[in-house]
Structure 1
Amino acid sequence: MPLSIRWPRFIFVSLVALVGIAGFSSLGVWQIQRLYWKRDLIEQVDTRIHAVPIPAPGPAGWSEQDAYRRVTVTGRFLHDEDVLIYTPSDYGPADWVLTPLVTDTGMIIMVNRGVVPDTRARAGEYARDDGTVTVTGLLRVSEDKGWLFSRENDPANGHWYRRDIGSITTAMGYDNAAPYFVDQELGAAAGWPRGGQTVVQFRNAHLSYALTWFALAGVVFAGYVLVLWGHRTAKVCVAPAVDHHA
């Protein structure tokens, strides 16, 4: 007697396997695409941070593709409007010192002059550059979104925990402000603020993610093969023999 297939169950198992294999494989392909994208991004950023600096773009002349590009900007610091942004650092609890710099065209660019230990920063014990200065640093995109455990900015009370340039310049009443900030490079003179603290490091685990998704697709495929094999080797019902001597 031939083995009968339970078609509803077989179709259901086949559909589940197909969806699983296709879904996990698609995620694996997507991670491979992300891998090449991330490698290209790292190469571009590495080229930018070592390039000859260019003039900082105006508020309407930039894009997020300019992130980590070396730029220069000349103007005058408005030290009486420094913004302190709390951050952990190699020096313990500290603050970024963001100072508005006004150019000769009236544009405002927030410059991250560097990090200062928290007690010194709150006491105002750090250097200030008077007169016209030229700053060289990396163009950074505004930190509009917080991280998992980051505290929310409190503009009303002047408490800042991330470099959200849009919120900062709005709270300060600047109409002609660049929507990015500049991380100032480490200068020759020691002291505070200490620039050059930009961490240019991108996590790139896309290959391991891709291998994980492809492995899951393989597991689903192997499970499906086992199910088919189980159907093939199931016990066949055999008709009872007829006793001719009865």
Structure 2
Amino acid sequence: MRRTLFLLIFGFAGLGALLSLGIWQVQRLAWKQEVLAEIDARISAAPIGLPSQISESEHKYLPVSVSGEMQPGEIHVLVSVKQVGAGYRIIQSFSTEDRIILVDRGFVPTTAKQTDRLTGPMEVTGNLHWPDEIDSYTPEADIDSNIWFARDLPNLAAALGAEPILLIARSQTDPGVTPLPVDTAGIPNDHLQYAITWFGLALVWAAMTGYFLWRNRAPSESDPQ
């Protein structure tokens, strides 16, 4: 009887914990979906002018439209695009009436690395962004070959003589450059997988608990008949 009671307590306690974790992940999934929907709505909103005071906490994903001049000189950030392959993001400085910012014009294949691109007066529409692409494994930029491995805003700004403010273009700025607009595809949302994992473990736990209870109650060959 004590062994059965122990199995019941242990089994239901573990089952309850696993189910609670699964339910929590379902709740987190709903929360994350709301957050992503808000970000999507913010990204696709009508663009406004560039604010005079800009901060990441207040203006991340803000859609803006700027007029000015695309400056000569560009930085190539190595990326890979699905169904296309390797290529480069083209980063250049852009002068407005009162400031110089960075513009991510979009993607070109590796074969177009040295192609001349349009500069001079133009209007660019896109979203402000602060990419988080730097970690301990990120290689240093190959300055001689002009190959960078991440959009490191402070260093990009220093190299191009601009403020560390990045506008990701969603409008075409050159016939040979494909815009890579900001979206939520790169924001992790693994809560459904976590929920399935916890509920799966709960099912296995319940089955094992039932098996041990049955085995505990089943008569052994040495029990008297």
Normalised-by-shorter TM-score class: 0.7 to 0.9
Change (3 A) 1:116 1:156: closer
**2:41 corresponds to which letter in structure 1?**
T
Q: State the aligned residue count.
A: 221
Residues 1:134 and 2:118 aligned together: no
Check the 8 A contact 2:64/2:125 in 1, yes or no: yes
Cα displacement string for residues 7-54 of structure 1 (whole angstroms, at most 9, x for unaligned residues): 9xx75x667646643443343123212311232133223322332102
Deviates further, 24-33 or 198-207 = 198-207
SS across alignment from 1:97: strand
Counterpart for residue 41 of structure 2? 47
Q: 2:133 aligns with which of 141, 144, 147?
A: 144
**2:48 corresponds to which letter in structure 1?**
I
Counterpart for residue 206 of structure 2? 221
With structure 2 as the length reference, what TM-score do the two structures score? 0.76
Cα displacement string for residues 183-203 of structure 1 (whole angstroms, at most 9, x for unaligned residues): 21233x862223255555366
SS across alignment from 1:142: coil
Cα displacement string for residues 188-237 of structure 1 (whole angstroms, at most 9, x for unaligned residues): x8622232555553665533431331121122123113222322333484
Check the 8 A contact 2:93/2:162 in 1, yes or no: no
Q: 2:164 aligns with which of 177, 180, 203?
A: 177
Q: Deviation of residue 99 (structure 1)?
A: 0.6
Counterpart for residue 71 of structure 2? 78
Distance 1:193 1:161 in 2: 19
Q: Deviation of residue 160 (structure 1)?
A: 0.6
Counterpart for residue 32 of structure 1? 26
Q: Deviation of residue 127 (structure 1)?
A: 2.1
Pairs within 5 Å for 1:70-219: 70-80=63-73, 82-89=74-81, 91-106=84-99, 108-121=100-113, 123=114, 125-131=115-121, 133-145=122-134, 152-154=139-141, 157=144, 158-170=146-158, 172=159, 174=161, 176-178=163-165, 181-187=166-172, 191-196=175-180, 198=182, 200-201=184-185, 204=189, 206-219=191-204
Distance 2:154 2:23 in 1: 36
Check the 8 A contact 1:186/1:196 in 2, yes or no: no
Check the 8 A contact 1:24/1:217 in 2, yes or no: yes
Check the 8 A contact 1:186/1:194 in 2, yes or no: no
**1:160 corresponds to which letter in structure 2?**
W
**2:152 corresponds to which letter in structure 1?**
D
With structure 1 as the length reference, what TM-score do the two structures score? 0.70
Distance 2:64 2:19 in 1: 42
Question: Gaps spanning 5+ residues in structure 2: where?
Answer: none
Bigger radius of gyration, 1 or 2? Answer: 1
**2:120 corresponds to which letter in structure 1?**
D
Distance 2:56 2:46 in 1: 17
Cα displacement string for residues 93-146 of structure 1 (whole angstroms, at most 9, x for unaligned residues): 32111012233333x42111122222322x2x2322214x33111222313336
RMSD: 3.5
Q: Deviation of residue 68 (structure 1)?
A: 3.5
Change (3 A) 1:191 1:233: same
